[in-house]
Amino acid sequence: MRGISTRTLVAPAVFGIAALMVWQLAVTVFNIQPFVLPGPINIGAQFEQVWPIIWAGTLVTGGNALIGFIMGAVAAILAAIIAALARPFDELTQPVVTVAAVIPLVALAPILYAMFGADAETSRQLIAALAVFVPVYLNTLRGLRQVKPVHRDLMRAYAATPWQATRTVTLPAALPFLFTGLRIASSLAVISALIAEYFGGPVDGLATSITSSAAGSNYTLAYAFVLGAILLGLAFYCVTLALEKLATRHAPLPPERPAVGR
Amino acid sequence: MTDAVTVSAVGKTFAVANRGTVVALEDINLVVAPGEFVSLIGPSGCGKSTLLRLIADLDQPSTGTLSVFGKTARQARTDQDYGIAFQQAGLLAWRTVAENVELPLQLHRVAKPTRRARVAELLELVGLTDFADRYPDQLSGGMQQRVAIARSLAESPGLLLMDEPFGALDEMTRERMQNELVRIRHETGAAVVFVTHSIPEAVFLSDRVVVMSPRPGRIVDVVSVELGGERGDEVREASAFFARVSAVREALHGAPAKGVRGVENR
């Protein structure tokens, strides 16, 4: 185990630090101007300097992403439960879900701003929710279909009520899939909330700050906001990844292992 | 005392897509006495598992009648008169060994202290006391199957239905599990209907071996074993054991010749 954690933690960290050093060295040695590419040290200093502004922007963008994430996930889970219970619903909605999976959702942003007003965060939250819906829906539905025939027989042999069967077998088997869907969706929520800001709305999020500092030729500041956006995305990803690990720590057994004696 | 299982003139046909129907079982008559161990043996497709599923009320017969302890199979199932184990252990991966064994008791709202005590007893019976808090993925195949057997015994059923429970185990584990099943059966006094395709396994475990043939599934012979109650490994070496194994084998291999079709030479 120790060897694995060294390889999975230390090695990427060393590589990352080395890359930053090469970047800084290149900027210093070749005397690259900050408007072309600022060095990591400058970006770090800028980040620290404007931290309160970045934090405020992170709260706005992160809040939009979180609200969208929750709305999208709740809607997706409910829809998946209905689809799992009623085949006609599933067949009815399949084309819609396929369409939703392929349309570039952020393209809806200008239209949604027109619908909900350019001074509200609603359209950003909705775009994040739409982006979250598809992966959570598809994964949850797949999870709900994981009940093994042997478990179905067992539940019938025990004369379990439908609700008991759902609670003891169907839901626990679906959970790992649901959490995988949430993990995939978490990054989409942050990305969608960020990109939606590029299309308009209130000037308060991380992405609007990136645009305005880049427009003002303050590239170091723009990069500092980019760093904030990266950290926000990482935070979403890490939290959902941790939840997924927790949910899958006793994952359903793969097709039962070839038996080995004690 | 009412018989554990009575099967009279039972037939089962399945509808197969685009190919009409398949007769899985035809004119099956079988009586299992309380406490009796009966094995169903036969080649793949002879309907032995189907027959077990009919007794368990997991499927319904197309013709004929079935009763379990004098009730309909359905009533017996809702009354939890039988315990069941399959070839796949079918444990719930997210529950510990103890929680898996506890499952039927929990579903039937047995009080927690009673449940705990019973689970401890059952784990003792299958020799897994030290593994109560482990998860199924931490156990070997043989141990998983023992958990499944403990689970099937949870409600002290008078009838145990087993569908090739040792089918996926290696030979050594399999023999040890058979020894344990003989012991468990003696301690519980339950009747057992045991599906297998291993002749020595059927002979070693059973009071009677029911030999079946495929297409359509029929009972071709019933071999009484009469090797005594408490059997240990020494029985596997006894000449009486070999004689019974031969008897079952002859009944099995004679089966296709009795049929009219004679096309299949497997």
Q: Strand B71-72 and strand B63-68: pairing?
A: antiparallel
C-alpha–C-alpha distance, residues A225 and A213, integer Å:
9
Q: For the residues of A162-194, what is the DSSP string, one character each?
A: HHHHIIIIIHHHHHHHHHHHHHHHHHHHHHHHH
Answer whether B173 sits within 8 Å of A262, measured CB to CB: yes
Q: Touching check for B8 and chain A: CB below 8 Å?
A: no
Residues B174 and B253 placed together within one structural domain of the fold: yes
Answer whether A151 sits within 8 Å of B142, measured CB to CB: no
Which letter does DSSP use for residue B189 in this model?
Answer: -
Cβ neighbours of A6 (radius 10 Å): 10
Give the end of a domain, one of B131, B156, B181.
Answer: B156
Residue B139 lies in a domain: yes
Residues B120 and B200 placed together within one structural domain of the fold: no
C-alpha–C-alpha distance, residues A260 and B143, integer Å:
9
Residue B263 lies in a domain: no
Q: Touching check for A159 and chain B: CB below 8 Å?
A: yes
Residues B173 and B188 placed together within one structural domain of the fold: yes
Answer whether B92 sits within 8 Å of A151, measured CB to CB: yes
Residue B234 lies in a domain: yes
Which is more confidently placed, B184 or A71? A71
Confidence class for position B89, pLDDT limits 50, 70, 90: confident
Tokens at residue A249, please?
A: 């720590």
Number of structural domains (chain B) is 2
Residues B118 and B249 placed together within one structural domain of the fold: no
Instruction: Provide, as residue numbers in chain A, all residues whose Cβ is less than 8 Å from the Cβ of B135.
Output: 250
Residue A209 lies in a domain: yes
Torsion angles phi and psi, residue B54, rounded to 5 = -70, -45
Torsion angles phi and psi, residue A82, rounded to 5 = -65, -45
Q: Give the H/E segment covering residue B83.
A: strand B82-85
If you measure CA to CA, which chain A residue comes closest to B57?
A: A157
Instruction: Provide, as residue numbers in chain A, all residues whose Cβ is less than 8 Å from the Cβ of B170.
Output: 259-261
Number of structural domains (chain A) is 1
Answer whether A261 sits within 8 Å of B80, measured CB to CB: no
pLDDT, one tens digit per residue, over A172-222 is 888 889 999 999 999 999 999 999 888 877 888 888 888 888 888 888 888
A–B: how many Cβ contacts below 8 A? Answer: 88
Tokens at residue B6, please?
A: 């009575």
Answer whether A153 sits within 8 Å of B58, measured CB to CB: yes
Residue B2 lies in a domain: yes
C-alpha–C-alpha distance, residues A47 and A55, integer Å:
10
Which is more confidently placed, B167 or A72? A72
Which letter does DSSP use for residue B65 in this model?
Answer: E
Q: Check whether A166 has a pLDDT greater than 70.
A: yes
Residue A235 lies in a domain: yes
Answer whether A253 sits within 8 Å of B108, measured CB to CB: no
Q: Give the H/E segment covering residue A10.
A: none
Give the Å distances, CA to CA, from B186 to A49, B57, B189, B208. 79, 26, 5, 16
Instruction: Provide, as residue numbers in chain A, all residues whose Cβ is less than 8 Å from the Cβ of B171.
Output: none
Q: Touching check for A252 and chain B: CB below 8 Å?
A: yes
Q: Touching check for B257 and chain A: CB below 8 Å?
A: no
What is the domain range of residue A65?
39-247
Angle between helix A219-247 and helix A171-198 axes, rounded to 10 deg: 170
Q: Check whether A68 has a pLDDT greater than 90.
A: yes
Confidence class for position A5, pLDDT limits 50, 70, 90: low
Are B222 and B210 a contacting pair, CB within 8 Å?
yes
pLDDT, one tens digit per residue, over B55-72 is 989 888 889 889 888 888
Amino acid at site B60: Q
b/e per residue B100-122 (b: at least 16 CB within 10 A) = bbbbbbbbeebeeeebeebbeeb
pLDDT, one tens digit per residue, over A103-117 is 777 788 888 888 887
Determine the pLDDT at residue B258: 44
Are B89 and B136 a contacting pair, CB within 8 Å?
yes
Residue A178 lies in a domain: yes
Amino acid at site B21: T
Residues B203 and B122 placed together within one structural domain of the fold: no
Q: Touching check for A2 and chain B: CB below 8 Å?
A: no
Write out residues 131-190 of B within 8 Å (CB-CB) of A: 135-137, 140-145, 168-170, 172-173, 176
Residue B195 lies in a domain: yes
Q: What is the CATH number of the domain that holds A73?
A: 1.10.3720.10
Q: What is the CATH number of the domain that holds B235?
A: 3.40.50.300
Mean pLDDT of chain B: 84
Instruction: Provide, as residue numbers in chain B, all residues whose Cβ is less than 8 Å from the Cβ of A250.
Output: 93-94, 135-137
Instruction: Provide, as residue numbers in chain B, all residues whose Cβ is less than 8 Å from the Cβ of A160.
Output: 107
Answer whether A157 sits within 8 Å of B170, measured CB to CB: no
Answer whether A259 sits within 8 Å of B77, measured CB to CB: no
Residues B235 and B224 placed together within one structural domain of the fold: yes
Find, among B202, B195, B220, the residue nearest to B56 by Cα. B195
Cβ contacts of A34 within 8 Å, gap of 6 or more: A42, A219, A220
How far does A72 lie from chain B, in Å, by closest CA? 27
Q: Which 3 state secondary structure label does DSSP give B251?
A: helix
Are B201 and B48 a contacting pair, CB within 8 Å?
no
Residue A254 lies in a domain: no
Residues B127 and B141 placed together within one structural domain of the fold: yes
C-alpha–C-alpha distance, residues B155 and B163, integer Å:
19
Give the end of a domain, one of B102, B127, B156.
Answer: B156
Determine the pLDDT at residue B265: 41
Residues B174 and B59 placed together within one structural domain of the fold: yes
Q: Check whether A74 has a pLDDT greater than 90.
A: yes
Q: Check whether A120 has a pLDDT greater than 60.
A: yes
Answer whether B144 sits within 8 Å of A256, measured CB to CB: yes
Q: pTM of the entire structure?
A: 0.73
If you measure CA to CA, which chain A residue comes closest to B173?
A: A261
Q: Give the H/E segment covering residue B197.
A: none
Give the end of a domain, one of B105, B134, B156.
Answer: B156
If you measure CA to CA, which chain A residue comes closest to B144?
A: A259
Instruction: Provide, as residue numbers in chain A, all residues whose Cβ is less than 8 Å from the Cβ of B127.
Output: none
How far does B84 lie from chain A, in Å, by closest CA? 7
Which letter does DSSP use for residue B79 in this model?
Answer: T
Answer whether A172 sits within 8 Å of B107, measured CB to CB: no
Residue B24 lies in a domain: no
Q: How many residues does chain A have?
A: 262
C-alpha–C-alpha distance, residues A125 and A131, integer Å:
10
Instruction: Provide, as residue numbers in chain A, all residues whose Cβ is less than 8 Å from the Cβ of B57.
Output: 156
What is the domain range of residue B152?
89-156
Angle between helix A122-144 and helix A109-116 axes, rounded to 10 deg: 120
If you measure CA to CA, which chain B residue comes closest to A172?
A: B94
Which of B82, B92, B172 lies nearest to residue A261, judging by beta carbons? B172
Residue B229 lies in a domain: yes
Determine the pLDDT at residue A236: 92
If you measure CA to CA, which chain A residue comes closest to B96?
A: A250
What are the residue ranges of helices labelled H in chain B? 48-55, 73-78, 97-107, 112-125, 141-152, 171-188, 199-205, 239-258
